[in-house]
Amino acid sequence: MTGRSHDNAELQATEIYEVILQIEEEREQGASALPTSRQQLALTQPTNQVVSQTSVAITEETTEQTAGAEGTTDDLSYLEGFEKVLEEYEEQKDKLTCTICMENPVAIAFLPCGHLVCCLDCAPAMRKCPICNELVKGTIKTFFP
């Protein structure tokens, strides 16, 4: 993420997509997906300035900071936005994973209820919808881009 300006705290879709792909590649290689928040802050602060920080705590909901360098607040808001996007991505990925095998992506919608919870492999074994317990009268194969 070098060479990017953090003046605007808004994340662009292409940046988010690049980060997600990078994280997935690093996870496949067994490397750590993200540096810690303190490491990330160390990378974003200039090396020729002495920064006096008394506390930096980045959590899911709040950020508390006292810093002597300008621009650190923008960096923190950028990191917070980045962390929120990653959380949302993980939630969406979980929602689109088969609830039976927990491995494959969902691909079959049940009729008449319309629930989308099973992959191609698990759906044929389902006589009742695992969500609403309604008898499955048919299925529709779905596609995601």
pLDDT of residue 49: 34
How far apart CA 68 and CA 49 sit, in angstroms, is: 10
In this structure, are 58 and 88 located in the same domain? yes
Question: Considering only 12-26, 85-99, 110-124, which range has the smallest mean pLDDT?
Answer: 12-26
Say what the pTM is. Answer: 0.43
Please check whether residue 2 lies inside any domain of the structure: no
CATH number for the domain spanning 101: value is: 3.30.40.10
How far apart CA 20 and CA 84 sit, in angstroms, is: 12
CA angle 128–131–132, rounded 5-degree value: 70
pLDDT of residue 12: 66
In this structure, are 91 and 125 located in the same domain? no
Range of the domain at 90: 13-95
| pLDDT tens readout for residues 1-32 | 444 444 444 566 677 777 777 887 777 776 44
Instruction: Please give the tally of structural domains in the chain.
Output: 2
Phi, psi angle pair for 49, to nearest 5°: -115, 145
In this structure, are 89 and 134 located in the same domain? no
In this structure, are 68 and 108 located in the same domain? no
In this structure, are 29 and 42 located in the same domain? yes
Question: Considering only 13-27, 78-92, 95-109, which range has the smallest mean pLDDT?
Answer: 13-27
In this structure, are 79 and 108 located in the same domain? no
| pLDDT tens readout for residues 34-81 | 444 444 444 444 433 333 333 333 333 344 444 444 556 777 778 888
pLDDT of residue 75: 75
In this structure, are 91 and 101 located in the same domain? no
